[in-house]
C-alpha cells in the first residue's frame, strides 16, 4: 500500500462528526471526502470545502467538519478544472519536448496558462500536437495524487528533476511543508486542489502562444506562455470558442482601423491617435457626461498637466505610485534631478483648488469634474490598444462634503452610473467592494469605517456586491463597478471611492455652522472611467454599430447614378445644416456595392436616391438593422432623425 493510500484508510474505532448539506452524521476518522457522497453526486464534483477550506475529494477527514461539495460548474469548480487542465498541458508539453522546464500555471477568469522554459520558443504550430497529447493523457484517466513533504525534500526532488524555476519558487517560500501533485510519472509543485483524475478533463482547447518574462520582470528570462481554456462539457466549450471568434472579429484595434476611428503608431506607444470619426465618438461621450454634470450639480475645471514633485509627496503618490509616473525637469535644474511629473491622477490638483480659499459648510458638497489628460508609465508589455494606455482622459470628479452628506452623494453617483450604462446598452452591472491594500495611507480604523460606509450604500440601494480584499486604492476603499459586455467578458470601468486621507494630507478644512473647523470627506468618482478604455470596450460590445446619437456618421446618402448626384449632395448638405452628421456617396459604383460599404461603416441610416426620388423630392430609407426599405418624403426622413433620443 502506498503512502498516499495509507493516508486515506479510516482508523478503526474512532469516529468524527461531519455535516454535509445540513445533515449531520458520524463517520470513521480518516474517511475520504469523496466517500461522503453517493456515486451519482460524486460524478458532478471536483473538490469540496472542509470547514471553509478547498480540498481534494481524496482528503482524509481527521476531525469534526462541515463539508460543502464543489460541483464542476461552480466558480470554484471551474477554476479547479482549469488549473488541472494547466497541469495536463504541462505534462503533455514535457512528454513531447524533453528539456522543457515548467514555471507557473494558474487558472484565469476564462481559462488557464502555463509559462515554460523550452529549448526553443513555442509557436502556434506546436499547439495541435500538444492538444492531441493532452487528449491521450486525459483518456488514460491517470489518478491525480497529492503528496506532502518538507520544503527541503521538495527542493531536492526538483533539483534532481532539473526544474530550476521550481527550486527558486521553493527557496522563496516561508513554509516548512509543501504539497506536490502527481499524475502518472509527472509531478508539479502545487497547493491544489485538483480533479481526482485526468479523465475529468473532457472539454479543453489551446488558444495561443505569447512571450512572458519570468515573474513579470523584463530583467528576467523570456518564457513561452501557452494559453488555453477548459469547460465541464463540449457544449460550453463550443459556445466559448464561438465567443472568442466573435471577439476576434470585433477586436477594437481591427474595427478602429476599419471604421477610421483610431490609429496606433509605435513611435507613440500607449498613446492612441483619435481620427476625425473617432474624435466625434470621443466628444459625444464627453458631451453626454457634461449634460449629466449639469443635472447632478458638478462644476467642471481644467487643471495643469505638470506639477513639481512636492505635490506628489504631499498626496502620497511619490511613495506609493512613483514607479507609474513620468518624471521630467524644466531644464533649469542643473543637478540632473527630475523634479517634475506629469500628473497620473487629478485628485491632488482638485485638493489644491479646494484649498485655494476658505470654505464654509454652505458651499458643500463641492463637486469638481475634470476631463484633463493623465499619463501613467505602464510597462510596454501590458499596453493593449485602447484598453491599456499610457495617455488617457477620465471623466474624473471629486466631491468634497461633510460626513453627513456622504450617503446622499454616494447614492447619487450610484444612480448616475446605472443611468449611464443602461443608456449605453449594458444590461447589468456587477459591484465589488475593494478593501484596504497592504500599502496604504491612514489608520486601519479609518479604513474599516469607510469600507462600512460604502457597503451600507450598496445595501441601501439594493445592490448586491462581493468583497475584493486588498484591492482598494492606497488612499481609500472603493466600489468597483464591472460591466459584462455582449461577449460575456467583464470590464472594471466605473469607481466610487471614499478618502479621509488626502483631505488630512492637504490640510483641507471647512467652517461648520457652529463656527468650528472640520475636515471634509473626499469622494473620488469616475463613471465611464478612462475614456480610451471605455471606447475600446464599447467598440467591441457593439461591434462598431453605435447608437444613433454616438455614430460618427449618422446618415449616408447614396446616389443610383450621376444624374441624381446633385440631389444627393443637396440632401446631405441639408441634413448637415440641421445638425446631423451626414455624407453623400456619389461615386460611379453599383448601388449594391455602395450599400455594402455603408453597412460595413455601420451607418445607422442609409438613404438611397434615384431619378424617381429626385423628381418627387422623396427618398428610399434603409436602416442598418436590416429593416425593409421605406419610401418617404424628405420631411418625413427629417422627422425620423429628429425623433432619435439624445440622452442626458
Catalytic residues: 347, 376, 394, 396, 398, 478, 524
CB 385 within 8 A of CB 264: yes
What's the rounded Cα separation, in Å, for the pair 648 and 547?
Answer: 14
C-alpha grid cell for residue 425?
Answer: 446598452
In the DSSP assignment, the letter for residue 519 is P
> Phi-psi bin for 319: left (phi > 0), alpha (psi -120 to 50), beta?
alpha
CA-CA-CA-CA torsion for 239, 242, 243, 248, nearest 10 degrees? 160
Cell 502555463 sits on residue: 114
What's the rounded Cα separation, in Å, for the pair 143 and 181?
Answer: 10
Give 506-517 as a 3 state SS string: CCCCEECCCCCE
Question: Which residues, at least 6 apart from 334, have a Cβ–Cβ distance to it below 8 Å?
Answer: none
What's the rounded Cα separation, in Å, for the pair 538 and 464?
Answer: 24
CB 454 within 8 A of CB 502: no
CB 524 within 8 A of CB 497: yes
Cell 446616389 sits on residue: 559
299: three-class secondary structure by DSSP: strand
In the DSSP assignment, the letter for residue 26 is E
CA-CA-CA-CA torsion sign (203, 134, 245, 422): positive
Instruction: Give me the count of residues in the chain.
Output: 648
Question: Which residues, at least 6 apart from 12, have a Cβ–Cβ distance to it below 8 Å?
Answer: 28
Phi, psi of 299, rounded to the nearest 5 degrees: -115, 125
- Could you give the C-alpha distances from 247 to 243, 281, 539, in angstroms and in order? 6, 21, 11
Exposed/middle/buried for residue 241 (C-beta within 10 Å: 0-12, 13-18, 19+): middle
Amino acid at each position: 500500500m502506498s503512502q498516499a493510500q495509507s493516508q486515506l484508510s479510516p482508523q478503526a474505532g474512532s469516529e468524527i462528526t461531519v455535516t454535509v448539506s445540513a445533515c449531520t452524521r458520524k463517520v470513521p476518522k480518516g474517511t475520504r471526502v469523496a466517500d461522503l457522497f453517493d456515486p451519482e453526486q460524486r460524478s458532478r464534483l471536483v473538490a469540496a470545502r472542509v470547514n471553509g477550506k478547498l480540498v481534494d475529494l481524496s482528503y482524509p477527514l481527521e476531525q469534526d467538519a462541515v463539508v460543502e461539495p464543489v460541483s464542476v460548474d461552480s466558480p470554484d469548480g471551474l477554476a479547479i478544472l482549469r488549473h488541472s487542465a494547466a497541469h495536463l498541458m504541462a505534462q503533455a508539453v514535457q512528454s513531447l519536448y524533453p528539456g522543457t522546464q515548467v514555471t507557473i500555471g494558474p487558472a484565469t477568469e476564462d481559462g488557464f496558462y502555463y509559462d515554460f522554459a523550452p529549448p526553443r520558443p513555442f509557436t502556434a504550430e506546436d499547439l495541435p500536437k500538444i492538444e492531441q497529447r493532452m487528449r491521450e493523457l486525459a483518456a488514460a484517466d491517470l489518478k491525480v495524487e497529492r503528496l506532502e513533504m518538507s520544503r527541503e525534500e521538495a527542493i531536492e526532488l526538483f533539483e534532481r528533476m532539473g526544474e530550476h524555476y521550481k527550486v527558486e519558487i521553493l527557496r522563496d517560500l516561508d513554509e516548512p511543508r509543501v504539497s506536490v501533485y502527481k499524475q502518472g510519472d509527472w509531478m508539479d509543485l502545487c497547493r491544489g486542489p485538483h480533479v481526482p483524475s485526468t479523465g475529468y478533463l473532457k472539454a479543453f482547447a489551446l488558444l495561443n502562444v505569447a512571450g512572458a518574462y519570468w515573474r513579470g520582470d523584463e530583467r528576467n528570462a523570456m518564457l513561452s506562455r501557452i494559453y488555453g481554456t477548459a469547460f465541464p462539457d463540449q457544449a460550453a466549450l463550443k459556445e466559448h470558442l464561438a465567443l472568442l471568434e466573435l471577439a476576434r472579429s470585433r477586436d477594437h484595434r481591427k474595427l478602429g482601423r476599419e471604421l477610421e476611428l483610431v490609429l496606433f503608431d509605435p513611435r507613440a506607444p500607449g498613446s492612441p491617435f483619435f481620427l476625425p470619426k473617432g474624435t466625434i465618438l470621443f466628444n459625444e461621450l464627453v458631451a453626454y457626461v457634461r449634460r449629466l454634470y449639469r443635472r447632478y450639480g458638478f462644476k467642471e475645471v481644467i487643471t495643469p498637466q505638470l506639477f513639481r514633485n512636492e505635490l506628489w509627496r504631499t498626496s502620497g503618490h511619490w511613495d506609493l505610485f512613483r514607479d507609474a509616473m513620468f518624471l521630467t525637469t524644466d531644464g533649469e535644474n542643473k543637478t540632473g534631478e527630475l523634479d517634475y511629473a506629469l500628473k497620473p491622477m487629478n485628485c491632488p490638483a482638485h485638493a489644491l483648488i479646494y484649498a485655494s480659499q476658505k470654505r464654509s459648510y454652505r458651499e458643500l458638497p463641492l463637486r469638481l469634474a475634470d476631463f484633463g489628460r493623465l499619463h501613467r508609465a505602464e510597462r510596454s508589455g501590458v499596453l493593449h490598444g485602447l484598453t491599456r494606455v499610457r495617455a488617457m482622459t477620465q471623466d474624473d470628479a471629486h466631491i468634497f462634503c461633510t460626513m453627513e452628506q456622504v450617503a446622499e452623494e454616494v447614492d447619487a453617483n450610484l444612480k448616475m452610473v446605472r443611468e449611464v450604462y443602461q443608456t449605453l446598452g449594458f444590461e447589468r452591472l456587477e459591484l465589488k467592494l475593494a478593501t484596504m491594500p497592504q500599502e496604504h495611507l491612514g489608520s486601519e480604523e479609518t479604513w474599516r469605517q469607510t469600507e462600512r460606509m460604502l457597503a451600507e450604500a450598496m445595501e441601501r440601494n439594493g445592490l448586491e456586491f462581493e468583497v475584493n480584499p486588498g484591492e482598494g486604492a492606497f488612499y481609500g476603499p472603493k466600489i468597483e463597478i464591472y460591466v459584462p459586455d455582449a461577449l460575456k467578458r467583464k470590464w472594471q470601468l466605473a469607481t466610487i471611492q471614499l478618502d479621509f486621507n488626502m483631505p488630512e494630507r492637504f490640510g483641507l478644512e471647512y467652517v461648520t455652522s457652529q463656527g468650528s473647523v472640520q475636515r471634509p470627506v473626499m469622494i473620488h468618482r469616475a463613471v465611464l472611467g478612462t475614456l480610451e478604455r471605455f471606447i475600446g470596450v464599447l467598440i467591441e460590445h457593439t461591434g462598431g454599430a453605435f447608437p444613433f446619437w454616438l455614430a460618427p456618421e449618422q446618415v449616408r446618402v447614396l446616389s443610383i447614378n450621376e444624374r441624381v448626384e446633385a440631389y444627393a449632395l443637396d440632401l446631405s448638405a441639408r441634413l448637415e445644416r440641421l445638425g446631423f452628421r451626414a455624407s453623400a456617396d456619389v461615386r460611379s459604383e453599383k448601388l449594391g456595392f455602395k450599400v455594402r460599404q455603408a453597412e460595413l461603416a455601420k451607418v445607422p441610416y442609409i438613404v438611397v436616391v434615384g431619378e424617381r426620388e429626385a423628381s418627387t423630392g422623396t427618398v428610399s430609407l434603409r436602416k442598418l438593422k436590416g429593416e425593409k426599405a421605406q419610401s418617404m418624403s424628405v420631411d418625413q426622413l427629417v422627422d425620423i432623425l429628429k425623433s432619435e433620443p439624445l440622452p442626458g
